[in-house]
Structure formats: C-alpha cells, structure tokens
C-alpha cells in the first residue's frame, strides 16, 4: 500500500476504510471483512457510535498493532482541555488501544483552541502519533496554524469529482497539511455511478466508476477512505494500484468540478446549529 509522509514524518496509507453511518451492530463484521480484504487504515469517530465495534474487530483480527493506522475524532461538545483529555481516554478505551495513529478535531466549532492545546500535549506524551482536523475551511485552518505550536498533520474534508478542492489542496501543501477525502465517491450523489465521463474513462481502463474516482484522487495525492458494507466492493476499492489515469483523463475529471458541496456547507449557520445539537452518548 502506498504511503504519504505527514509533516512530522509519520507514514499514513493513502487508502483506508471508513465506517461513517455503519450501524454499530454491523460494524464489527464490516471491519473484520475490510481487514480480511487487506485494509490496514481504519477511520472512525466518537460521534459514529461504533468505536467499540471497530476495536473488537481489530482485537479479533490478530493483526499486529504496528501494521494498523487507526484514526478517530473528537466531537464538538467534548472540547476544551479537560473535555478533550476525557474524550480521548474514552475513545482509546472503546477501541481497546494503547495509542492512536491520528486524532482529529471533527468540526471547526466550539472551544477547539483548547482542544488543540490538549491534543498537542497528548501528542508530546506519545499517545497520539499525529494530530489534525476535519472540515476546517482555509481561514480557520490558517488561523489555527498561525497561533499554535504544532501544525495539523491532516485536514479531512469533503473531496470528490464534483467538489475537488484543488486550490485548497495547494494551500494545505504549502502549509504542510495533508488533505484527506471524506466522501470520495460523493456519497453516491449527483448520479456519480452513472456519470458519462467517469463511465467512459472506466471502460477505457477496464475499471469501475468507483475505481476511477478513487484513482483520480490518489494520483492527486489525496488520502481516501471509501466505505462499503459489501466485501466485493471493499476488494474493488482496494484494486486501484494496477492502472494509471492519463493526463487527458485527469483533465476530463477536473472539468466536472462544480465547486459546491453535495453534503453541506460548514459555514452555513443552520448547519452549525444542527451539528451543535448532536451529542455523543
């Protein structure tokens, strides 16, 4: 599996497996299947409610901890220095791990400055190999970088053929932040699985639309964490390293960019309020 090198030297697999919206009662089997398929990079979050199931699958797999890259995320209402430490300890316990490879601030709301200070301390203690953020827009990311000691290693943001974030990726690269895509397949929206451009490119390479979209992101240097509950799709999503898109292919996909989220805008006050109403049990 190809790796990207984060700004502190940590190696991160460029392709991983996400469990967003996988019900807790299904997650253990889904992650077990993903690990059996060959995934070694797992992404979850406290708010997903399935950390314990991820942890059980990891333990049952017998795979050495050193072979895995595990990410989870801090929710808004667990912010602040004390709250972050408690939330981190709870996530680590639920996962059954001694350390995290990557810990992210899940949303750019609440007292995330205090959370970042706590995360810097946890990183210094060796409990987290790398710390980062998720869903931060450029202004908040740069502000966090300018006013803290440690630059986020990763920013996990919505990135896919319809919302490509190319300019933002360039800004992150200058600042030493690795872009990671959530929703690399646009969560199935905008009829992505019948898109004529992606279909034509896939036919030329003997690959599926999902494989083309993931390969396009990987060739841009974007870390991807596709999700599936079907073992055959898990295997398909991993099978993207035996072909390469041409410059023309890359340009044709680049022309698909709408510059608009297919999910929601984190700067929308209504969404800020809705997210603020979600609690982690």
Q: DSSP character for 160?
A: B
Q: How many residues does the chain have?
A: 281
Given the residues 48, 103, 112, 168, the one annotated as active site: 48
The answer to whether 125 and 103 are in contact (CB under 8 A) is: no
The answer to whether 131 and 153 are in contact (CB under 8 A) is: yes
d(C-alpha 103, C-alpha 249), whole Å: 34
Query: DSSP E strands: which ranges in 60-195?
Result: 69-74, 100-105, 128-134, 154-158, 178-182
The yes-or-no answer on residue 39 being catalytic is: no
- Whole-angstrom CA distances from 192 to 24, 213, 214 are 27, 9, 12
Give phi and psi for 208, each to the nearest 5: -80, 165
d(C-alpha 142, C-alpha 162), whole Å: 24
Q: Which residues contact 247 (CB under 8 A, 6 or more apart)?
A: none
Q: Which residues are catalytic?
A: 48
């Amino acid at each position: 599996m190809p790796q990207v090198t984060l700004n502190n030297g940590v190696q991160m697999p460029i392709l991983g497996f996400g469990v967003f919206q996988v019900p807790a009662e299904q997650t253990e089997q889904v992650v077990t299947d993903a690990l059996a398929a060959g995934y070694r990079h797992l992404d979850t979050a406290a708010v997903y409610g399935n950390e314990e199931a991820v942890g059980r699958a990891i333990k049952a797999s017998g795979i050495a901890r050193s072979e895995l890259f595990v990410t989870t995320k801090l929710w808004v209402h667990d912010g602040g220095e004390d709250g972050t430490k408690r939330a981190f300890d709870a996530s680590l316990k639920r996962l059954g791990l001694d350390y995290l490879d990557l810990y992210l601030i899940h949303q750019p709301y609440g007292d995330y400055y205090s959370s970042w200070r706590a995360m810097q301390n946890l990183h210094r203690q060796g409990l987290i190999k790398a710390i980062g953020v998720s869903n931060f827009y450029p202004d908040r990311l740069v502000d966090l970088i300018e006013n803290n000691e440690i630059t986020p290693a990763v920013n996990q943001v919505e990135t896919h053929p319809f919302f490509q974030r190319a300019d933002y990726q360039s800004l992150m690269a200058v600042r030493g932040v690795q872009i990671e895509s959530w929703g690399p397949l646009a969560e199935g929206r905008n009829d992505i699985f019948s898109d004529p451009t992606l279909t034509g490119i896939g036919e030329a390479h003997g690959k599926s639309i999902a494989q083309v979209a993931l390969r396009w992101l990987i060739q841009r240097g974007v870390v991807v964490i596709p999700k599936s509950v079907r073992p055959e799709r898990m295997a398909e999503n991993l099978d993207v390293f035996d072909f390469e898109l041409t410059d023309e292919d890359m340009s044709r996909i680049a022309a698909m960019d709408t510059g608009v989220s297919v999910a929601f805008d984190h700067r929308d006050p209504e969404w800020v309020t809705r997210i603020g109403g979600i609690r982690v049990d």
